[in-house]
């Protein structure tokens, strides 16, 4: 555990990982800006094209835990390099795809690599900082997604409109190459643990016996589903319902990204000290924004403003959701990161699917906002259950150790996960044990 305080600057490697996530996030989210030209070119419907978002998410769901388990004893830097290279090749395959089916498969392959990178990269980022800076470190990685929405997704939309949707895939392949160079040059080498220190999958798997882990996963999945039920169909909602010209889509996507970056910054600053407060506030605000958008979707001004607001509210919770999972499953950091990634993308699969069902039922594009609002409300309820359980136990939920029995013996519980409590534990030499969740 680094000796630096949570007020000091983060290691450069954390920012390199965030830069790589920018490429991953651009690929994951850019279809929202090129959905219509892609559907026209491949002669498929908008809901069918929207399933390409779900295809990526499915690959993330499967790939995160599987690749995390498969690479558990491999050097993390080597794993990151290999996965980023495969991701880049997947983008090339997508750019060259002759049919919808081939593109669908390429999205799954790219997502598998993306999922593994997220899982391992999150574990690396968390391992490089003190326990009281976890949300900040994860905010940098989530910030890569936010910047992807500000710059990458609108740029992809512009490329899709003026140079064809395939150009967007070529651009992401170039971004992946840049990220690959950064990881090779700046992410530190790590030795493979040996003997009693080596990670053991059986021990890490014991995190799934904990109720708080499952509540954290459910809240994460529902929050992701709420956002993606709308975001996947934001482009046709803006043009067909709000009446905006297609040329406006990149601008609105960029505004969503600005909101996302703002929310990530806010969440990263407050979540370490007020984890549950951040979760309740952010998810409840998203519920309200989505409901209001459903009611006012025919107004171009309202659609634009509420897209910006949704970026803020949705991404304010992202660092807290990530940090919470690492807290309730702290002793299994690789699977914790993988499980969080899977949970986010279960939501990213569920949201577009439910949104597509609503559209297919003839309820119109505003129905995707109602779908998102219902999912967000369910996430609020799940978070309330987790908070109630946390208050009832009033202790940390350290579940297992993936290293040595000695490490288990030295890990101690904390009554609450405030920044002050974490600093006290770290000073006492017990920083490897973290609390279950933040105070309200």
**Is 402 domain-assigned?**
yes
**Is 108 domain-assigned?**
yes
Size (the chain), residues: 440
pLDDT of 204 reads 67
3-state SS, residue 212:
helix
pLDDT of 370 reads 94
**Is 45 domain-assigned?**
yes
Each residue of 386-417: pLDDT tens digit?
888 877 775 444 444 444 433 333 333 333 33
For the cut 80, the answer to whether the pLDDT of residue 127 exceeds it is: no
pLDDT of 294 reads 92
Residue 276 Cα distances to 42, 47, 438, angstroms: 45, 35, 5
Domain of 48, CATH number, reads 1.20.1250.20
Longest alpha-carbon distance in the chain: 64
Other C-beta atoms within 10 Å of 82: how many?
17
C-alpha Rg value of the chain to the nearest Å: 21
**Is 55 domain-assigned?**
yes
pLDDT of 131 reads 67
Helices and strands of the chain, counted as H and E runs: 19, 0
**Is 4 domain-assigned?**
no
> Whole-angstrom distance between the N-terminal and C-terminal Cα of the chain?
27
Q: Note down the domain range covering 240.
A: 12-188+198-427
**Is 397 domain-assigned?**
yes
Name the average pLDDT for the chain.
Answer: 76
For the cut 60, the answer to whether the pLDDT of residue 192 exceeds it is: no
pLDDT of 149 reads 67
Q: Which of the listed ranges 204-213, 262-271, 362-371 does the model predict with the highest average pLDDT? A: 362-371
**Is 436 domain-assigned?**
no
Whole-structure pTM over 0.75, yes or no? Answer: no
If one counts the domains in the chain, the total is 1
- Pick the more confident residue, 55 or 131: 55
**Is 1 domain-assigned?**
no
Q: Which of 137-151, 207-221, 350-364, 367-381 has the lowest mean pLDDT?
A: 137-151
Each residue of 131-175: pLDDT tens digit?
667 677 777 776 776 677 677 777 887 887 778 888 888 988 988
Closest CA to 75 of 169, 164, 192: 192
Token duo for residue 55:
């295809």
Rounded distance, CA 230 to CA 61, Å?
A: 20
């Amino acid at each position: 555990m680094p000796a630096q305080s949570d007020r000091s600057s983060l290691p450069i490697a954390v920012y390199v990982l965030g830069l790589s996530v920018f490429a991953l996030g651009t690929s994951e989210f850019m279809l929202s800006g090129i959905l219509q030209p892609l559907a026209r070119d491949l002669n498929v419907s908008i809901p069918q094209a929207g399933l390409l978002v779900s295809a990526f998410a499915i690959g993330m769901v499967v790939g995160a835990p599987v690749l995390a388990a498969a690479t558990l004893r491999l050097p993390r830097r080597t794993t990151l390099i290999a996965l980023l290279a495969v991701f880049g090749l997947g983008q090339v395959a997508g750019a060259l795809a002759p049919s919808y089916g081939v593109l669908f498969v390429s999205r799954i392959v790219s997502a598998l690599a993306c999922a593994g990178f997220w899982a391992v990269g999150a574990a690396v980022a968390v391992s490089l900082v003190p326990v009281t800076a976890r949300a900040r470190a994860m905010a940098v990685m989530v910030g890569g997604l936010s910047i992807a929405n500000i710059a990458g997704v609108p740029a992809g939309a512009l490329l899709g409109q003026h140079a064809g949707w395939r150009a967007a895939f070529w651009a992401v392949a170039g971004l992946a190459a840049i990220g690959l160079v950064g990881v090779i040059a700046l992410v530190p080498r790590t030795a493979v643990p040996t003997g009693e220190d080596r990670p053991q999958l059986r021990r890490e798997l014991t995190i799934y016996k904990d109720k708080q882990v499952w509540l954290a996963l459910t809240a994460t999945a529902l929050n992701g589903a709420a956002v993606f039920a709308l975001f996947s169909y934001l482009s046709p909602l803006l043009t067909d319902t709000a009446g905006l010209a297609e040329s406006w889509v990149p601008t609105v996507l960029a505004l969503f990204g600005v909101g996302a970056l703002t929310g990530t910054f806010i969440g990263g600053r407050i979540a370490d000290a007020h984890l549950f407060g951040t979760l309740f506030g952010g998810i409840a605000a998203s519920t309200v924004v989505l409901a209001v958008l459903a009611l006012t979707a025919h107004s171009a001004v309202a659609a634009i403003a509420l897209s910006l607001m949704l970026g803020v509210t949705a991404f304010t919770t992202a660092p807290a959701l990530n940090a919470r999972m690492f807290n309730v499953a702290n002793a299994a950091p690789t699977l914790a990161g993988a499980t969080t990634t899977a949970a986010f993308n279960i939501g990213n699969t569920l949201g577009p699917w439910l949104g597509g069902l609503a559209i297919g039922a003839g309820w119109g594009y505003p129905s995707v906002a109602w779908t998102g609002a219902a999912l967000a409300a369910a996430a609020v309820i799940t978070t309330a259950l987790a908070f109630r359980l946390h208050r009832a136990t009033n202790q940390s939920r350290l579940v297992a150790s993936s290293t040595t029995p000695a490490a288990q013996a030295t890990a101690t519980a904390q009554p609450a996960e405030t920044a002050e409590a974490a600093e006290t534990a770290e000073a006492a030499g017990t920083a490897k044990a973290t609390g279950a969740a933040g105070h309200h």
